[in-house]
Chains A and B, each alone.
Chain A
Amino acid sequence: MKKRKTSETSADDVGSPELPPSPEGGDLPLGPTGRSIVVLRPGAHKSTVKSLQSTAGLKVASTADFEDAVVSDDNIGGADAVVLEHLDIAVVDADSDQVKSLEAAVADVDNPVLSIEPEMYVIPFCHDAGAEDEGSTGGLLTQGGREYLRGYNDAVQSLVARLLGGAVTEEAAVAAAFADTAALTWGLQATKVDKSSCNGRGIRVAVLDTGFDLHHPDFAGRSVISASFVPGQAVQDGHSHGTHCIGTACGPKTPPGNTRRYGVAHEATILVGKVLSNSGSGQQGWILAGINWAIQSKAVVISMSLGSPVPIGGSFSPAYEQAGLAALNNNCLIVAAAGNSGNTPVGAPANSPSIMAVASVDPDLARSSFSCIALNPNGGEVNIAAPGRNVFSTVPMPTRYGVKTGTSMATPHVAGIAGLWAQWTGLRGKALWQKLTSTALNIGQTPQTVGAGLAQAPRCPRLSQGPTPIPPGSLEG
């Protein structure tokens, strides 16, 4: 194939990374390959070849022209596009103008081009997210290997479903209609929080952010413990980000008036750690101090809707990783926002192996276009996903409520749900992590974008008969 070009694929691909270095020297290539994957209308093989030629001026080869359908860079004779006829897919090496023509063709119902997306290098993830049941593989596969195969399986299923024009799973099809109702936000419905009898009582949920509106009427009478790590600034939230996140993680079951329910762990004790200033900035040292405090304050979950971008090939911060490990060893799970830079690596601290990275999904349960993806090994994986688009929650008075979008909004959903699981099962730290990922809903997308899938709340059917005993030291007085 001829030299690769960087392609502008869509407006959503904010900050697409540069082409990765060549795989020579043993480094795994990462990120977009520079080519595009075009999904074609099934069976329209001949018209497709014509269409790619006429629409985008591409030189096209087809597997139909090769013996045994074996295609490699050696035998395609300098073609710009290879049509994999049995898959109804073309791999296209198009420049940005050609990609634009193809994108325009997607909108044309008469054109066999159904979709176009950047081709990504696929890498096996080596991070051991925990010793899962080794089951039918007899322990031959590592956790990373299983995740890789599961991702492959998901991708094939998703592809087949798209080609057949059907839904990926029944649940995903049902889920396509999520919207806020008079009683509930869409996020609480999608994560089945509304079906849960758990409330987070006895569980301490820490949110490290811009603080909290301590006088917010929706939280009157709630148990709140707070500390500020921002020099010279009180806990009171002068930004709104922190109050929004706390609303999602711990907001009330029945907000005053006719407001819909927006919060998950409605009886949890709230630990407010102000680690970001009223202008939204924070030093890593303040954030680390906040984690240290939350662990000492017996938090079961720490929610961190914050981070900074990490380049392709970038590694995690040793300090964040040591903090994450210390948390797990102290029966505490840290969840952090994957980041909002689109098809770029999961940011820090979410890229620490011991910290759970949370991606965002839209109300149709598709990964939000801004949500960062797994491009780096050793902690750079996405671990789980949660609702992050158009999330209704609290903001400081007098405005009271607001709608925000981002992986920042997905993260406190997971924190609250972790609190419910912790209450229901008594599990903590790494075991709680595994419970969250093993119960996540498969939403038919690759682990590269949504990890184990959409976080789901426990039903807790026997809560009234008394939950599993909670380890000593974690109970509120």
Chain B
Amino acid sequence: MSKSKKASAVRINVTSQDSDLKATASKLRKLGMKVDSVLDSIGVISGEIAEGKLSALQKTPGITFERDKEVQLPPPDAPVQ
């Protein structure tokens, strides 16, 4: 998406143990994360953050984050899908 604009930005998915996901989302925004979606049924917040700010995120209690992993299907006519 905006990869070219922010070369150092990484997509992440944050898993929160806090039931107040909105509060977690605002905490994450303060830490510099651009929040794209707050998925309240599964306790996950997705978005983008500068690579350099990941270490601060690591120190935040009550959350786990992981880098977004892209899924790629084979082409429609591939022998195995």
Contact = CB atoms under 8 A, between A and B. Distances in A.
A317 B64 CA distance: 10
B25 to A, nearest CB: 14
Contact of B81 (A284, A288, A405): A405
A26 interface: no
B69 A308 contact: yes
A46 B13 CA distance: 61
The interface residues of chain A, by DSSP majority, are classed as: mixed
Contact of B68 (A231, A283, A322, A395): A283
Interface in A288-346: 288-289, 291-292, 295-296, 305-308, 317-319, 322-323, 326-327, 330, 340
Contacts of B71: 276, 281-284, 287, 306-308
Interface residues of B, number: 29
Contacts of A322: 15, 42-44
A318 B1 contact: no
B68 to A, nearest CB: 5
A408 B81 contact: yes
Nearest to B69: A284
Contacts of A241: 73, 76, 81
Contacts of B37: 285, 289, 292
Contact of A280 (B73, B79, B80): B73
Contacts of A327: 42
A276 B68 CA distance: 14
B69 A317 contact: yes
Given A307-B71, A318-B66, A285 B41 contact: no
A210 B71 CA distance: 12
B80 A340 contact: yes
Nearest to A282: B71
A291 B81 CA distance: 21
Contacts of B11: 283, 285
Contacts of A307: 71
B24 interface: no
B44 A280 contact: no
Contacts of B72: 280-281, 308
Given A283-B11, A285-B11, A292-B44, A318 B68 contact: no
B39 interface: yes
Nearest to A317: B66
Interface string A207-225: 0001000000000000000
Nearest to A289: B37
Contacts of B1: 231
B36 A319 contact: no
Contacts of A319: 13-15, 42, 44, 66
Contacts of A285: 11, 13, 36-37, 46-47, 68
Given A283-B68, A370-B80, A323 B73 contact: no
26 contacts: A210-B73, A239-B73, A239-B76, A281-B71, A282-B70, A284-B70, A285-B13, A287-B71, A288-B42, A288-B46, A289-B46, A291-B39, A291-B42, A292-B37, A295-B42, A307-B71, A308-B71, A308-B72, A319-B13, A319-B14, A323-B39, A370-B80, A395-B76, A404-B81, A405-B79, A409-B81
